[in-house]
Chains A and B, each alone.
Chain A
């Protein structure tokens, strides 16, 4: 297989990792909404952890994107 073609396929496959991150982000926010629904008083404290959790989960998705850029940088020519 041509190296450039394989590189493009590899870059596309890196996008599969975003699926897990989407589920993770949905889980974090679903739990936050549920917690606020059970005890509206806790919103202030839970919201802080919600945003920290979101950023950490999103970071893993972006590690996959960085891999795609790394592969793109190695395309010959």
Chain B
């Protein structure tokens, strides 16, 4: 069995070719996975809300309330009382990333968050959003975020470039963290499956068992990474609003 490049299953072929003025907008597995993720979250919440929310929640409403309370707690803890206006954005981010991560684990499907383009766009938008929030709320005083409290005046010219680099490292690390976790997980799974297929029959149960364990780990990583991305987003927004 020839060993293919383990990154080969990240490649996309167009399923429905669409070309608009020279730009390739063809539908491929990634687009369908993204639509599937959005559709699942939308349909699940619509089922809960249909017919009105009851005061004594049923099963589905209970689970939805669990998630909503969880995200409300996260937003309230890091951003504070006035952070509730960012709650819809944070909740959407969490559910979208979680559903896209989990849909990628279905065999034959595609994880869009394993592409640096996708996670990079998320992180860039969040970074630009924090800048806009900071300048809108504090005006020019927002630049004092680059000077940590309690720094002697002499050290300020040294601290400002370091703090600027640290601010710019935030969207970079945010995007690369999610992208690398998803890519590494799927690559490990691909390599292990290749090992199962190329090993002689009497020993191939070992990598197969390991694949099952790694698959479980991937589900946990998918959930944890969505949680981490959302938590760090809340931390960055709270940082910018509270200015230390």
User: Counting CB contacts under 8 A, is B168 at the interface?
Assistant: no
Chain B residues closer than 8 Å to A56, beta-carbon distance: 177, 228
Residues facing B in A4-33 (CB within 8 A) are none
Given contacts A52-B231, A69-B183, contact A63 B225 (CB under 8 A): no
Determine whether B92 belongs to the interface, using a CB cutoff of 8 Å to chain A.
Answer: no
Rounded to whole Å, the gap between the CB of A68 and the closest CB of chain B is: 10
Interface string of A40-77 (1 = CB under 8 A from B): 00000000000110111011001101100100100000
The answer to whether the Cβ of B121 comes within 8 Å of any Cβ in the partner chain is no
Q: Are B173 and A59 within 8 A (Cβ)?
A: yes
- SS of B interface (majority): helix
Task: Tell me what chain A mostly uses at the interface: helix, strand, loop, or mixed.
Answer: helix
* Chain B interface extent, by class: 10 to 19
* Residues of chain B with a CB closer than 8 A to A72's CB: 7
User: Contact: A51 with B227, CB < 8 Å?
Assistant: yes
Complex alpha-carbon distance, A56 and B225, angstroms: 10
Which residue from A51, A52, A54, A63 sits with its C-beta under 8 Å from B180?
Answer: A63
CB-nearest residue of chain B to A64: B180
Q: How many cross-chain pairs have Cβ atoms below 8 Å apart between A and B? A: 37
Distance of B114 from chain A, by nearest CB (Å): 11
Name A59's contact: one of B7, B181, B183, B231 (CB within 8 Å). B181
A53 to B110, CA, bound (A): 28
Given known A-B contacts A62-B184, A69-B7, A69-B183, A54 and B224 have beta carbons under 8 A apart: yes
User: Which residues of A have CB within 8 Å of B224?
Assistant: 51, 54-55
Once the chains are docked, how many angstroms separate the CA of A36 from the CA of B225? 24
Establish whether residues B181 and A58, one from each chain, have CB atoms under 8 Å apart when the complex forms. Answer: yes
List B contacts of A66 (CB < 8 A): 176, 179-180, 183
| Docked CA distance A69–B183 (Å) | 10
Asked whether B180 lies within 8 Å of A62 as measured between CB atoms, the reply is yes
Determine how close the nearest CB of chain A comes to the CB of B66; give it in whole angstroms: 15
Query: CB within 8 Å of A: which residues of B?
Result: 7, 173, 176-177, 179-181, 183-184, 224-225, 227-228, 231
- Which 10 residue pairs across A and B have the least CB separation, nearest first? A62-B180, A59-B177, A55-B228, A66-B180, A65-B184, A55-B224, A62-B184, A62-B181, A51-B224, A65-B180
Interface, chain A (partner B; CB < 8 A): 51-52, 54-56, 58-59, 62-63, 65-66, 69, 72
